Copies of this chain bind each other. A is one copy, B any other.
Amino acid sequence: MAALRVSRTTLLRPVSSGARAPGFGVRLFSASAARTAASSLFPDEPAGPTVKTEIPGPVSKSYIDDLDEVFDIRSLHMLADYSKSIGNYIADPDGNVLLDVFAQIASIPLGYNNPGLIAASKTPEMVSAIVNRPALGNFPAYDWAATLRTGILKAAPPGLSQVFTAMTGSDANETAYKAAFMYRRQRERGGPQAAFTEEELSTAMSNTMPGSANDLSILSFKAAFHGRLFGSLSTTRSKPIHKLDIPAFDWPQATFPQLKYPLEDHVAENEAAERASLEEVEHLIQTFPRKPAAVVVEPIQSEGGDNHASPAFFRGLREVTARNDVLLIVDEVQTGVGATGRFWAHEHWGLSSPPDMVTFSKKAQAAGYYYADPALRPNLPYRQFNTWMGDPVRAVLFRAIYEQIQQHGLVAQAARVGDYLYAGLQRIAERYPDQVANLRGKDRGTFIAFDNPRRDEVLRRAKTLGVNLGGSGVSAVRLRPMLVFEERHADILLGVLEKIVAS
């Protein structure tokens, strides 16, 4: 087949499964031909992408002009036609169908129009959850415990048996922070039985000390992303554009280890960077004027550039926080639910005791924080409370997601396909070391990234070649396939990436 020319008439398909990249005439990497989840779940999934027009094409453009009148469209990547999207492929109104390895900022777990999730969405339970939305703290359905136990709690990280449900990742993190502040103050006050003082009761109403815990903080890491509401944004340190002009709390930030790649060539330096980071964390805990009630950390800094650290670093962080009596909150909003090859990324660390709280959202579709210690329930009702406290629609959906992940072994699949994808990228990196730099995510399933000096151009080109890719940080291409991503999809992705970096 001739070299690909992208034009309004070029069709990339058909591509035979796993054997060839789309239209590049180059045999790439061998693929497992086993009949696996994506093929059984999505028999109509296309064999490869279709690019018919520039993106956005003429039809999309007219819709975008219209949308612009009522909605901010400046961050728009691509207008979608979800009725035509299927499995790993996202369609647009111009007839373009792209392999989607960005997946709605890592939040589509199991492919578009997944038949199992469609079935779950049509159940009387789901319909009731839509139309009879409860204030969960006041009027939960009698079977809410069962819904939790068969879904959100079945998926809970080892050792964490409790959940506070929320609506989004930001909300999950902020409610976790609130739990940490109340826990800390309650202990300082002398335990759950100790009453609030009159001064606390009155000063809380004017946002001042001692009623407002303005001498406490949450410690986060440089380049972290934990959300964009006022508390979570105060712990987010990803990019100025996320933070400019918004008031923020004077909370501390520690340096996240900046590992050098390939890891095996920088063992001593990386160990030193991790040691220095842990020392900085401990120093800040002990000296920062607003004492940290908790340290929050992502297993992989997913917006800040896919920055990794070793399991030893995180074990060290668990030790430092425990030793200094500070809570450890692991933000698994982006890393959770399988893509790293474990259901929760922190399961890679081999911790001797679990994190105090683990927050989740995105691929879970539901959101909230897991915890274990009953003392993290504040001493009085209505301290941790809001009207909806989550959404049963998404709790029911997460249960269906979890069931499908278990049924199809999709966490193991993410590990296997991730290894395959990583190996493929490694081969490209050997040929084009400047274009695929700092390859990272080995043994972390499909949660893989690399740096490219012309990253934004890579993302743009990828679309013209049929792949929807995302970036993070300054120069990272971040891969965020769904859990139904297989070797044959990896081949297409690898083919497109190789074509781009070779040009």
Mark A residues whose CB is within 8 Å of B.
59-60, 63, 66-67, 69-83, 85, 90, 92-93, 104-105, 107-108, 112-114, 117-118, 121-122, 124, 126-128, 130-135, 137-145, 148-149, 153, 161-164, 167-171, 174, 177-178, 181-182, 184-186, 196, 200-202, 204-208, 211-214, 216-217, 222, 227-232, 234, 237, 240-251, 253, 290, 361-362, 365, 377, 380-388, 391, 393, 397
Report the Cα distance A143→B73, complex, angstroms. 13
Residue of B nearest to A397 (CB): B130
Residues from chain B with Cβ under 8 Å of A138 in the complex: 75-78, 104-105
The answer to whether B171 touches A139 (Cβ under 8 A) is no
Residues from chain B with Cβ under 8 Å of A247 in the complex: 181, 212-214, 216-217, 231, 249, 290
- Given A104-B134, A137-B72, answer yes or no on A128-B382 (Cβ-Cβ < 8 Å): no
Please tell me which one of the listed residues B67, B167, B217 contacts residue A171 in the complex, with CB atoms under 8 A apart.
Answer: B167
Pairs A-B, 4 closest by C-beta atoms: A230-B231, A74-B381, A207-B248, A185-B245
Report the Cα distance A164→B72, complex, angstroms. 8
Residues from chain B with Cβ under 8 Å of A290 in the complex: 247
Residues from chain B with Cβ under 8 Å of A168 in the complex: 167, 171, 386-388
- Given A135-B107, A245-B181, answer yes or no on A140-B205 (Cβ-Cβ < 8 Å): no
Residues from chain B with Cβ under 8 Å of A383 in the complex: 241-242, 244-245
The answer to whether B107 touches A72 (Cβ under 8 A) is no
Residues from chain B with Cβ under 8 Å of A182 in the complex: 244-246
The answer to whether B71 touches A148 (Cβ under 8 A) is yes
Please tell me which one of the listed residues B92, B178, B212, B251 contacts residue A207 in the complex, with CB atoms under 8 A apart.
Answer: B251
Report the Cα distance A167→B172, complex, angstroms. 13
**Chain A interface, DSSP helix/strand/loop, else mixed:** loop
The answer to whether B387 touches A71 (Cβ under 8 A) is no
Distance between A133 CB and nearest chain B CB, rounded to angstroms: 7
The answer to whether B82 touches A134 (Cβ under 8 A) is yes
The answer to whether A388 touches B107 (Cβ under 8 A) is yes
- Given A79-B139, A126-B130, A163-B70, answer yes or no on A205-B240 (Cβ-Cβ < 8 Å): yes
Residue of B nearest to A238 (CB): B205
Q: List 11 A-B contacts (CB under 8 A).
A: A67-B145, A70-B162, A72-B381, A82-B141, A108-B132, A121-B131, A202-B240, A205-B240, A206-B253, A212-B246, A231-B247
The answer to whether B137 touches A75 (Cβ under 8 A) is yes
Report the Cα distance A162→B196, complex, angstroms. 44
Distance between A93 CB and nearest chain B CB, rounded to angstroms: 4
The answer to whether B140 touches A80 (Cβ under 8 A) is yes
Residues from chain B with Cβ under 8 Å of A196 in the complex: 240, 244
Distance between A387 CB and nearest chain B CB, rounded to angstroms: 5
Distance between A92 CB and nearest chain B CB, rounded to angstroms: 7
- Given A132-B85, A133-B104, A243-B204, answer yes or no on A72-B217 (Cβ-Cβ < 8 Å): no
The answer to whether A132 touches B82 (Cβ under 8 A) is yes
